[in-house]
Amino acid sequence: MRLFFAAAVLALPTALHAEPMSLDDALRLAETRAPELQAREAGLDAARSAAIAADRLPDPKLNLAIQDFPVTGPDAGRFNRDDFTMQVIGVSQDFPNPAKRRARATRAQADIGIARADEAVTAQDVRLATALAWVDLFYAKKRLKELDLLDAGLGDLQATVTARLASGAARPAQALEPDQLRAAINDRRSALAAEIARARAQLARFTGDPVADTAGDPPPPTVDEATLRAGIDALPRLRALDARTLAADAETGLARADKRPDWSVNAAYGRREPNYGDLVTLGVTIDLPFFSKKRQDPKIAARASEATRARLDREAAKRDITAALDADLADHRMHHEQLGNARSRLVPLAKKRAELDLASYAAGKLDLGTALLSTLALVEAEVDALAREAEVARDAIRINYIYGETGR
């Protein structure tokens, strides 16, 4: 039903999702439309179906035979001329030992756990990529808006230059300086337009909306370090390694079960020439694992070593995640400090300098080029502050989505 619903959603017209979307809306769309998640769901369904048959008995076997048919002597090639030839019909049933059947069931359940853990890892990756694309698009649009505001203000400045040229208070070359600044702004606008296109393409890749756009504000860039550290063991990537460790243990149990004999029962009915009586055969076949030191024991040791490796890989992964969390938290603190410095010092200083230089230009004490460079520096400071704000938001999303999503 989930796969059917997802296919139905994919078939809906794009116009249904053409409006700007909040971050939560984008995440919900990605969870419904991302093909990776649908593939993992199909894999989980496959594992569940396979588990149904894991510990079942093998199918019975039907045996049809002509037994003791003469090929030499006076009765060669003839049926029912002696008391040996029989038409036999029989059935047999294999019975793997109970330990082996339990081990197969455990292995099948481990496969379900692996499929479920892989689905959780993929869901985490999809949500993270979607959220980062949304934030990148949001802040790229915001930085572009700052450039547009500067570009709009150049019209007033151009009028001022024209008036000064008419009065003879400015050199003719100064009439070109606003256009030069506008050209520099256009270069930055082109870069931001490309950044917007990349972010929109990434957002469309997961939401399925080719004209994906943002609405609303990003979440607060807060991080609860204590909660993140307490939940490391429940992270999807470690749960996936836990599932693989259980699968390795199940393989070890399956190898140990090979030391116990399997057995089978069979029954057959033999029909002979009417002058002789028919025969019934009943039998039991039992495996004899007499040479376990050369057969089963090496396999058990190999599987046990693989289980040990799985546990060590899990421990190594936990250490890697802990170290990565420490590094990401350090970067987040650094970006917070840089953002605070931009807001409290760099932008106010650039704004004050631009105001003073424009006032000096208006008073005829400063050339227009220097005043314009100060104005451009102010815009660059504001755009840089937005870039730092975006970095802080990206940090918070990465940290919360990578280290904090334990229940999905």
The pLDDT tens digits of the residues spanning 140-176 come to: 999 888 877 776 666 555 555 555 555 554 555 555 5
Cα gap 30→124, rounded to integer Å: 11
Confidence of residue 12 (pLDDT cuts 50, 70, 90): very low
CA geometry: angle 332, 333, 335, nearest 5 deg: 65
- Give the tens place of pLDDT for each residue, 298-321: 999 999 999 999 999 999 999 999
Q: What is the pTM of this model?
A: 0.77
- Give the tens place of pLDDT for each residue, 69-123: 888 777 777 765 666 788 899 999 999 999 999 999 999 999 999 999 999 999 9
Question: All domains of the chain, ordered by start, with CATH?
Answer: 25-57+96-146+184-258+295-403 (1.20.1600.10)
Judged by DSSP in three states, 62 sits in: strand
Residue 33's nearest CA partner among 113, 112, 120, 127 is 127
CA geometry: angle 114, 307, 299, nearest 5 deg: 115
